[in-house]
Structure 1
Amino acid sequence: MFTFVIPAYNEEENIATIVRQACAAAQPGDRVVVVDSASSDATARRAVAAGAEVLRGPRGKGAAMAVAIAGSTSPWLCFLDADLVSADVNVPATLRKAAASGTADHIVGDYEYADVGTILSSTFTIYEPLVAEFFPEVGALGANSLTGYRAIRRRYLVGGLPTHFGVESHLNISIAVAGGTAAVCQLGVIASRFRYKPDMCREIAGSLLDLAVAHHRLDPGDRPSWNSWVDGGAAAIAAVTATTGRSAALARLFAAVRRPMPSRASRTSLPAAPEPAPA
């Protein structure tokens, strides 16, 4: 059984699209759950009209996801973005099929953006350099490794989640270090509503660095240097939003990627991961 989870904040214009896809993908025993993350619009009402259960949740993507996890007992949870406008495929059905037909514990939905000018600035400026430095065992999870479309075996959804947009970074790492396997599922071309989130890159980095400290990959005394490194990348990302020239924007980001990383006083190895809880 699967629980399709759609965290949503003020998505009244688009919520019905992904809910209808999830309802079409659902099989007997599955649930389609929208967690209304303190919306001020008609998101909840339109989600119900489209066929979803609605749970009330606090503000914050990770916080909303945690509400759904706590309220579900299904072996798989499939997380979906609420801002889907159109897609080449039924996204939840494709993720469900990949999870049910394979052996991986974590199915990561990769896709191309309908807007060919999309730049995944936080992904390659912040996330990819940090994960390569501290958690190389995560490996390649597609070009869109921080995707909001993913299916995860419930037994790997233990412990707390970041309350914010650092949740995908946290999931990629925590599942890998717990011994979970991952597979990338291609979803074709997806169109979605874009909203600039100025704190997203810091939330992504903060979640990753928190895990690095918790798993003894980063000495706490070195953390301020890494925070400063993140600040430099965040400044480059913010500058891109104010730049009209595509070439200039890319040049700023590539320069940020090439910045030297801080030295690390400690490079201790990760202790053996505990066995995940039984399903």
Structure 2
Amino acid sequence: MPGARMVVLDTVNDPGTPGRMGDDRFGFDEAAGTAWALDGATDVTDLRPFPNAESGAAWIAEALSARLMVPPAADETPKAYFAKALTDVCARAETSTRIPLDDLPGEARPIASGMWMHVVSGRAMFAWLGDCMALLRRGGSVTVIGSPGKAEAETVTARRLLAVSPEERLAQLQTDRRRSNANRTCFGLDPHAASNLETQAVSLEPGDTICLMSDGLYRLVSPYATHTPERFMALVADTGLSGAVAALRAFEDAPGCDMPRLKARDDACGVLLRIDAMG
């Protein structure tokens, strides 16, 4: 296909908790052919280095989402693009934090998972860190894009942490956050995380539909397993992303739901789009 353009069909950002903005963000630029879903990782300290934000998680998701409105340059690779984007986010953090970044402990340095895509020359380039996901529907088949193993590990992690005391749980969460920052496994305040970016190029066809989402929305597929990828894409085609959120909350709120969860109602965001031929 010589050329393609994306058309955004629907978006959603449901924080799960009334009265909050939440830690997820999404964005898109149809003219540039870019779209993304971001999920700030829940804070594990009470330091609040960004006092003007709802949380450190919300701050990093908002700052990165705002920066992604500047599209990549022609022929710029995803890793080069995100290295520049994270450099700019880090510079913004230095002027926004009440605690100098050099003094900020690893457990208080905010991170976010993210799935980003760029449509150009008849194909889509996907790039991600963490457990945000994408589903691409073509006809009756659906391709899963991302790192589904990270979403599937959530139940195991939750079960392990729920088995210990609150103090032990917090200590383990802080250890995990320090490890994530040290290993640069998510987007954060270290531009070198871009070197760990995972990418996948996919050829496009007119009529393809794609959903980018945070792990909160992907929970319907895993770990809840109430929907296969095919059923999920059929659901959003019929009812929009609000229908997926309704199904998510219905499962979470159902009496007797015994799925191990650290958050009873996780933030959930998504962008649903269609690929059209140019012209």
TM norm. shorter chain > 0.5: no
Structure with a larger share of its residues in helix: 1
Query: With CA pairs under 8 Å and 6+ residues apart, which has the higher RCO, 1 or 2?
Result: 2
TM-score (norm 2): 0.27
More strand by share: 2
Q: With the length of structure 1 as denominator, give the TM-score of the two structures.
A: 0.27
